[in-house]
Chain A
Amino acid sequence: MEVAIKDWRNDIYKVFKELDITMVSHVPDAGHTPLINLCEKDNEIDVVTLTTEQDGVGLSCGAFAGGRKSALLMQSSGVGNCINALALPNICRIPFLTLVSMRGEWGEFVPWQVPMGLGTPKVLEAMDVKVFRADYKEEVGSTVDAAARFAFNTNRSAAVLLSQKMIGAKQFKNG
C-alpha cells in the first residue's frame, strides 16, 4: 500500500474497494465510525448493522457462499460473542475477515473493558483465527491488505487488531 492518507480508515476503505469487499457488517464502535460512514456512502457496499457480533460471522459466510466478500467490524468486547460461530468458517473453509478495534489495553479508563481486551488475541487464536495487529497508522493499510489476502487466498479466518494506542483511549468525565 502507498503512503497513508489523512485518516487510516481511508486506507482500510481502499483495501475493501481493491479486493471487492462489498458487504460490511458491524456492531458499531467509535474507532470504526469513520470507516462505517465511508462504506455507507458507497452504493456498492451493503452495510449491515447487527444486534450481536456473532451474527456477522454467519452473515459473512452466507454472503461468501453467494459470491460476495465481506468484513465484520467490531470492538474487542464483541470477539467473545463470536467464539462458537467461528466454527462455521473454520469447518467450511470459508474465508472470514474481521477488523477489531481494541479496548482494554493502552490507557483504558473502564476496567470492564480489560478482561475481553486481554482475552481477544487468545480466544481468536484458540479458534484458529490468524491474528494480525496494527499499532501505528502507517501500517493499517498494509496490515488489512495482508490479512484480507491471507483470508481470501487461503480460505481461512483472519483478524486485524487495531490498537487502542492508535485509536486513542477515551477518557470519560463524570457529569
Chain B
Amino acid sequence: MIERRPFVQKILKNRQTNLRVVSGLGTSTWDVMSGGDDKANFGFIGAMGQAIPFSLGLAMSQPDLRILLFTGDGDALMSLGSIATVANHPVTNLTIMVMDNESYVETGSQPTATAGKTDLEIVAKGSGIANSYTINSEKDYDRIIKTIYEEEGPSLVVAKCKAKATPLVFPYSFDGSVSINRFMSTLKS
C-alpha cells in the first residue's frame, strides 16, 4: 500500500514543463498542493464526479501537453460512465491516476465500492482503456512516470493507497475563478 502524499509529491517534484495537473475534490487537491503551489495545477474542491470529464475536455483542447489527473476512488466511482467516454473519444495525452484508498476518508472512512467487489482497473479495461494497471508500491514510480510522459493514452492507473487522513493543505484560492484563471495563464489557446 502506498503512502499517497509523499508519492504524489515525488511524482510532481521533477515535473516537466509540458505537464498540467488536475486534481479531484478533496484529498487529491490537498495532496497536489502539499507539493507546492504551481499555476500549472487546477484543483477541484467540489463538483464531485466532474474531474474526469473536465480532464478529457482539457486533454482534447491541449493535445501538445500531457494531462495528469489525480483523483480519488470516490470521485471516480461517481462518474464511472465518464471512463467509457474517455475510452471512446480517445486522447493520447491523458493519464488518470486514481488514488484508491477504498474509503471516503474525509467523511469518516466509510468503505467505497472498491473496498468491496469493485476493481477500477477492470472497470477501465472493460470500458475500453487498454492501458490500465494497478500499483501497490512506491517501487512502481518509474513505470508511472513513463505512463504520464511517454505512453500513448488514455491511461488509467489505480494506485492502492493506505486509508488514512492527511492534513488539509489549502490551495492558493478557494475561489474557482481565481484558480482557473491562474491555470489558464499557463496555457496557450
Given A49-B85, A51-B85, A88-B47, does the pair A58, B54 have CB atoms closer than 8 Å? Answer: yes
CB of B50 within 8 A of CB of A63, answer: no
CB of A61 within 8 A of CB of B57, answer: yes
Residue of A nearest to B51 (CB): A58
Q: Which of B148-183 contact A (CB under 8 A)?
A: 175-177, 179-180, 183
Residue of A nearest to B183 (CB): A65
Contacts of B179 in A (CB 8 A): 92
Give the Cβ gap from B53 to chain A, nearest Cβ, in Å.
Answer: 3
CA distance A17 to B150 in the complex (A): 35
| Of A66-74, A115-123, A145-153, the one with at least 4 CB within 8 A of chain B | A66-74
Given A87-B46, A91-B46, does the pair A65, B180 have CB atoms closer than 8 Å? Answer: yes
Which of B57, B176, B177 interacts with A66 by CB under 8 Å? B57
B-side interface residues, number (CB < 8 Å): 37
Given A48-B85, A65-B184, does the pair A54, B49 have CB atoms closer than 8 Å? Answer: yes
User: How many CB-defined contacts (below 8 Å) exist between A and B?
Assistant: 124
**Contact residues of B: prevailing secondary structure:** helix
From A51, A54, A58, name the one whose CB has the most chain B CB atoms within 10 angstroms.
Answer: A58
Given A85-B50, A93-B177, does the pair A55, B189 have CB atoms closer than 8 Å? Answer: no
CB of B47 within 8 A of CB of A87, answer: yes
A-side interface residues, number (CB < 8 Å): 32
CA distance A155 to B176 in the complex (A): 13
Contacts of A48 in B (CB 8 A): 56, 60, 85, 89
CA distance A121 to B22 in the complex (A): 32
Residue of A nearest to B81 (CB): A51
Give the Cβ gap from A130 to chain B, nearest Cβ, in Å.
Answer: 17
CA distance A51 to B51 in the complex (A): 15
Contacts of A70 in B (CB 8 A): 57
CB of B180 within 8 A of CB of A94, answer: yes
CB of B57 within 8 A of CB of A63, answer: yes
Contacts of A5 in B (CB 8 A): none
From A62, A68, A70, A91, name the one whose CB has the most chain B CB atoms within 10 angstroms.
Answer: A62
Give the Cβ gap from A166 to chain B, nearest Cβ, in Å.
Answer: 29
CA distance A55 to B176 in the complex (A): 18
CA distance A52 to B184 in the complex (A): 27
Q: Which of B48-87 contact A (CB under 8 A)?
A: 48-62, 79, 81-82, 84-85
Given A55-B82, A66-B57, does the pair A85, B49 have CB atoms closer than 8 Å? Answer: yes
From A46, A51, A66, A67, name the one whose CB has the most chain B CB atoms within 10 angstroms.
Answer: A66
Give the Cβ gap from A111 to chain B, nearest Cβ, in Å.
Answer: 27
Contacts of A67 in B (CB 8 A): 61-62, 187-189
Indicate with 1 or 0, residue by residue over A94-132, a CB within 8 angstroms of chain B CB atoms: 100000000000000000000000000000000000000
Give the Cβ gap from B21 to chain A, nearest Cβ, in Å.
Answer: 13
CA distance A94 to B189 in the complex (A): 15
Q: Is B88 an interface residue (CB 8 A)?
A: yes
CA distance A52 to B46 in the complex (A): 18
Q: Is A23 an interface residue (CB 8 A)?
A: yes
Using a CB–CB cutoff of 8 Å, the interface residues on chain B facing chain A are 22, 42, 44, 46-62, 79, 81-82, 84-85, 88-89, 175-177, 179-180, 183-184, 187-189
Using a CB–CB cutoff of 8 Å, the interface residues on chain A facing chain B are 23, 46, 48-52, 54-68, 70, 84-85, 87-88, 91-94, 155
